[in-house]
Amino acid sequence: MKKDYRQEYELPFTPLTVMHEAARCLLCYDAPCSKACPAQTDPAKFIRSVRFRNFKGAAETVRKNNALAAVCARVCPTEKLCRQGCSRSGIDRPIEIGKIQRYVTDFEDACGMKILEKGSKNSGKVAIIGSGPAGLQAAATLTELGYDVTVFEKNEKCGGWLRYGIPEYRLPSPVLDKEINRIAQMGVTFVTKREIKDLQPLKSEFKAILLATGASYGRTLPLFENNKYAELAVDVLAKIKDKNGKISVPESVLIIGGGDVAMDVATSLKLLGSRSVTVVAREQAFEFPASSEELKAARENCVSIIDGYTPVSADGNKVTFKHVALDAGLTIKADKIILAIGQRADLEGFGVKAENGIVHTVGYQTDDKQIFAAGDIVDGDKLVVSAIKYGKEAAHAIHAYLGGKQ
């Protein structure tokens, strides 16, 4: 079937298929799926509600635990998380937890349910720097705890990599807009196009500050410095999202990297019309970091994937690779070379202790007790659902610091 970049790639469940899928659940007593969800979205509980046709109850469970549940339903690499824990795997195949969660959050949206609300007590003002998943979840949790939260975001729109990285065919912008609107309706103030460089001026106005600035910049390799054919994958993805897919694409593309970002840019360019897209990864096939869904989409769209090769030299648009284990080499020429080899943080100016883009924290608190940190800058885990877990836990750490009960 021909796919469109703007059309959601995975089809949703229907009322019939979601009931069929929920009926496969074994209703485990100690539910390993729930233990395996970093954000504690509690799939065992919401799937049980779906099984008994209690969709409202399911939506309440999902949303109370995860302020970005509709996003997670679409982008979580579930085979490494909740589905990996699913006991049904021992019989045939794990339950499609992400797709059930998507059905439940679509239902919540269709019914206009308002589940998250501001806490009644006036607990004071907290500032959050960065509106990616860590900042958004922290904003929701702190608001539920009664704080007045202001989120400062340097970009025009909120969402971090959810907005400017993950492609439209996996996470449609309207889904993200609704998630952010729900948080705004709780009473959170969003100040966009405001890059915070120095935290000192905020310290007198806000009782606590949470840094959630993520790893906002793509990494490059010395081999490709000043190479006019080379571009960073995250820059290409941001351009595609910004123009809603209306960009001219190169005929042939060589992508270096084997993670989700490499597969995202490969599939996006294929969907947008590039004739030949080749991904070359240092990892061998069995250790690919990209999720199975991402690999599936890339393969279905005829992306060529070559594993186990690392680049050793570049001459204009011609790149030579050598195999990591074998005595073998390979040279590929393409109109465009795209680097998808990871992201890095810029923590300069914040005055917090950090090493290699990771802020030094104890229980999310930095050396300066008024400043906390969460998301990609506290851990190299780099998943949306992990950023949500950190955002939630950091909010509770701030609450405890400000004298609230845990």
Ligand X SMILES: Cc1cc2nc3c(=O)[nH]c(=O)nc-3n(C[C@H](O)[C@H](O)[C@H](O)COP(=O)(O)OP(=O)(O)OC[C@H]3O[C@@H](n4cnc5c(N)ncnc54)[C@H](O)[C@@H]3O)c2cc1C
By CB under 6 A, name the binding residues for ligand SF4: 37, 39, 41, 43, 66, 72-73, 76, 78, 81-82, 97-98, 101, 385
User: Closest separation between CB of residue 123 and ligand X, Å?
Assistant: 23
The reply to whether 68 sits near ligand X by the rule CB under 6 A is no
Residue 31 or residue 212: which is nearer to ligand X going by CB?
212
Q: Which is nearer to ligand X, 134 or 253 (CB)?
A: 134
Q: For residue 289, which of 278, 279, 300 has the smallest C-alpha distance?
A: 279
Contact 202, 370 (CB under 8 A): no
**Least Å distance between CB 167 and ligand X?**
8
Nearer to ligand SF4, 98 or 259 (CB): 98
User: Nearer Cβ to ligand SF4, position 336 or 389?
Assistant: 389
Q: Which does 97 bind (CB under 5 to 8 A by kind): ligand SF4, ligand X, none?
A: ligand SF4
Alpha-carbon dihedral sign for residues 372, 204, 207, 67: negative
For the beta carbon of residue 329, count every other beta carbon within 10 angstroms: 11
Is residue 173 close enough to count as binding ligand X by CB under 6 A?
Answer: no
Q: Which does 18 bind (CB under 5 to 8 A by kind): ligand SF4, ligand X, none?
A: none
Q: What does 81 bind: ligand X, ligand SF4, none (CB cut-off 5 to 8 Å by kind)?
A: ligand SF4
CB of 160 to ligand X, least distance (A): 2
Q: Which of 163, 149, 209, 203 is nearest to 71 (CA)?
A: 163
Q: Which is nearer to ligand X, 46 or 161 (CB)?
A: 161
CB of 139 to ligand SF4, least distance (A): 18
Q: Indicate whether 43 belongs to the interface with ligand X (CB under 6 A).
A: no
Q: For residues 399 and 406, what is the distance between their CA atoms, to the nearest angstrom?
A: 7
Query: How far apart, in Å, are the Cα atoms of 313 and each of 79, 188, 230, 257?
Result: 36, 50, 13, 16
Among positions 85, 245, 289, 375, the unique one binding ligand X when judged by CB under 6 A: 375
Give contact residues for ligand X (rule: CB under 6 A): 75-77, 129-135, 152-155, 160-161, 165-166, 195-196, 212-216, 234, 237, 260-261, 264, 343, 375-376, 382-385, 387
